[in-house]
Amino acid sequence: MADDPIMAEDPLTGDEIELPADVEVGEIIDSPVTGAELEVISLDPVVLEEAPELEEDWGE
């Protein structure tokens, strides 16, 4: 039987959104509602926050 989908509240809109089954803490999710980047803060409970803005020294 498939696992229950991982649901979370979009912190910007309050909408309930579904996360990928293999989601990781620290991962960035594009909100299906607004397109905004959301960071996965925890999975138990599932908490999302608006992701940090791009910084100048980010990259590889």
Partner 1 sequence: MRIGVCYSRIRRDEKLLLTELRERDHDVEKIDVRKHRFGVHEPPAVFRDLDVVIDRCLATSRSRYVTMFCAAHDVPVINNFETAEICADKVANSLALAAAGVPTPRTEVSFTKAAALESIESFGYPCVLKPVTGSWGRLMAKIDSRTAAEAILEHKETLGHYEHKVFYVQEFVEKGGRDIRVLATDGTPIAAMVRSSDHWLTNAAKGAETEPFDLDDRASELVAAASEAVGGGLLGIDLMETPDGYTVHEVNHTVEFKALDAATDVDVPARVVDWIERRVAAGIDAPEVTAS
Instruction: Name the site residues for partner 1 (rule: CB under 8 A).
Output: 22, 24-28, 39-40, 51-52, 55-60
The C-alpha angle with vertex 44 and arms to 1 and 12, in degrees rounded to 5, equals 105
For the bound state, the minimum distance from the C-beta of residue 18 to partner 1, rounded and expressed in Å, comes to: 18
For the bound state, the minimum distance from the C-beta of residue 47 to partner 1, rounded and expressed in Å, comes to: 14
Nearer Cβ to partner 1, position 7 or 25?
25
Listed residue (15, 57, 20, 60) closest to 36, CA to CA: 15
For the bound state, the minimum distance from the C-beta of residue 51 to partner 1, rounded and expressed in Å, comes to: 8
Q: Are 37 and 28 in contact (CB under 8 A)?
A: yes
* Amino acid making up residue 28: I
